[in-house]
Amino acid sequence: MASPTRAQVLSLYGNLLRASNSFYSYNFREYFVRNTRQRFRAHQSEADSARIKALYEDGLRELNVIRQAAAMNRLYAGPRLVVEKSGTPPSPYEGGKAGEGGGDAS
Amino acid sequence: MLSRSLLSRSLARNAKRASGTLSQARRTFVQPSAVDKANIVGTPASVDDSLFTPRQDMLGFKLEAVKSTEKNRPIYLDMQATTPMDPRVLAAMMPYFTDMYGNPHSRTHAYGWEAEQAVDDARAQVAKLIGADAKDIVFTSGATESNNMIVKGVARFHKEKKKHVITTQTEHKCVLDSCRKLSEEGFDITYLPVQSNGVIDLAELEAAIRPGETSLVSIMMVNNETGVIQPIEEIGAMLRKYRGVYFHTDAAQAVGKIPINVDEMNIDLLSISGHKVYGPKGVGAAYVRRRPRVRLEPILSGGGQERGLRSGTLPTPLIVGLGEACSIALREMDADHARVKALSDRLIKGVTARVEHVVRNGDVNGYPGCVNLSFSYVEGESLLMALKEIALSSGSACTSASLEPSYVLRALGAAEDMAHSSLRFGIGRFTTEAEIDFVIERIVGTVSKLRDMSPLWEMVQEGIDLSTINWSQH
Ligand SMILES: Cc1ncc(COP(=O)(O)O)c(C=O)c1O
């Protein structure tokens, strides 16, 4: 595979954020969203194309894992935590079946 | 969303039904009803229960009466008792809970081979986290089993010549109880005291060694109640001078949280627990050095799996989970540690800025994810009761059922009342700032309310000197 384009990287970023946001559990959702942001920012100005390619491939693998993990997490949704703002659904997928909704375009 | 809208719909239905049949039963304060009726008819479903049930902040009521089926779950700050399993770990385990069910010890078919491969991979992942050789890892059911196997195993193997074991007063119960068992079998055990910051004195340890007689020194790396970190590297270097004295460390609370290297630290044996590193419960590992070889008498006899040290079929899914958890921990240790430290500082600053007479128990340079605070003039148990929205522990999880003050805090020299008024805050990978801020608010409010009811506190406010306790380390 050639080095990913800027559009591909941005699409991966969006997909990772969406997948992270689809966790039902507050703590996991917060963690993965934060983690995704931090990791993309940390490598924002990466210039080495081999390194970019390796990071991109890691990201694709991670995306698969997070989608699976979030889908399972939504299957066993429990009561909300006391710190969560009630009435604001954190993800558009809540209540949906696992598998559907967890994924997204691309 | 779905469940919430269902709920509100059924509530509305209930309310309609109730207003039809039970509206007469509804009493207000200005309409006293006959006593017999009041006894028969309970509260109709349409009436908000919270009007009758004492709220948590109504101290002085029986707090147990607060319904446990509250709308919201408490936040979790008890990471030393157990950590939530990382969802990536579950994703890694699922194939071995479903289609890949082979016995890793089956040598004759692909089902066995794929399971064996998974176990080998996990063994390498665990080994890498502690800088060990994969062949030196023995899978067990958890740190309790690892500690039992190691402490009893090493002592019993050498019992003909050496009958002395050294440990500390602040070890986990499973080490202390294994030692108690050994002393019943005729071994001599030295329980080293700790200094007031919870750290052992190296000179005292060295003085306790009986060359030719001591077979094992067992000292935990991170304490589960106070977060105190023992100087394992220095201990290991010192023990090298004494041949034949093996060094074991219970690293259940340290693995994946602080850097460990068994070679640099001269560790011969080490215990790991899966459910303290965001892995599954019911699995753990023991590191048992092969070069130079450390010998121990196995507790379980059987098929001779795991170098004969731990017979029994390996639980492939759990082991895969432990491996994945270790691999994630290694990758994210620095980021996790920085974050846990920031949250820990935020909690300590937030609480001490607004509450007087708070003492931090244990060395301030301990693991930041374990913050043990004592609130003077407040009962730890009443504090816990009033903080129902926060899952916390006073003392360690295994002892919190009893009302005895923690033996760990006592060993640090804490006065009995301070040991009684301590809370342990466990911060981890998935803790958020919002949770910490929530805790600070609740602690500040509850402590001041409880103190307002305390006669001791009143005396302190009037300037009466109650004792000469060193109030604060800050
Ligand atoms: C220091 C320490 N050792 C051992 C254990 C026991 O571990 P496990 O639950 O894996 O048996 C714990 C956990 O409670 C611990 O904190």
Whole-angstrom distance, CA of residue B415 vs CA of residue B405: 10
Q: How many other C-beta atoms are found inside a 10 Å radius of the C-beta of residue B12? A: 11
Q: Where are the alpha helices (DSSP H) in B98-142?
A: 110-129
**Distance from Cα B192 to the centre of ligand 1, integer Å:** 20
Asked if A80 is an interface residue toward chain B (Cβ–Cβ < 8 A), one would say yes
B262 has pLDDT over 60: yes
DSSP states of B222-252 as a string?
A: B-TTT-PBP-HHHHHHHHTTSTT-EEEEE-T
Domain locations in chain A as residue ranges:
6-75
Whole-angstrom distance, CA of residue B52 vs CA of residue B67: 11
Q: Quote the tokens at residue B351.
A: 């609480």
Out of B174, B326, B370, B398, the active site residue is: B398
Q: Is B326 an annotated catalytic residue?
A: no
8 A C-beta contact, residue B83 and residue B278: yes
8 A C-beta contact, residue A4 and residue A53: yes
- The CATH fold assigned to B110-328 is Aspartate Aminotransferase; domain 2 (3.40.640)
Which residue in chain B is spatially nearest to A23 when comparing CA positions? B87
Q: How many helices (H) and strands (E) does chain A have?
A: 3, 0
- Which CATH architecture does the domain made up of B333-463 adopt? Alpha-Beta Complex (3.90)
* pLDDT class of B58 with cuts at 50, 70, 90: low
Residue B166 or B376, more confident: B166
B333-463: same fold as B110-328?
no
Which among B290, B254, B250, B253 has a CA at the least distance from the CA of B270? B250
B357-395 tens-digit pLDDT:
999 999 999 999 999 999 988 877 788 888 989 999 875
Domain locations in chain B as residue ranges:
110-328, 333-463
B2-15 tens-digit pLDDT:
444 444 444 444 44
**Distance from Cα B143 to the centre of ligand 1, integer Å:** 5
pTM above 0.95, yes or no: no
Contacts of B207 (CB under 8 A, 6+ apart): none
Strands B214-218, B164-168: pairing is: parallel
B453-462 tens-digit pLDDT:
887 788 787 7
* Closest approach atom of ligand 1 to CA B396: 14
Taking contacts as CB-CB distances below 8 angstroms, the residues of chain B near A86 are 72
Asked if A83 is an interface residue toward chain B (Cβ–Cβ < 8 A), one would say yes
The pLDDT of B218-227, averaged and rounded, is: 96
B21 has pLDDT over 60: no
A39-72 tens-digit pLDDT:
999 999 888 999 999 999 999 999 999 999 999 9
**Distance from Cα B144 to the centre of ligand 1, integer Å:** 6
ipTM: 0.83
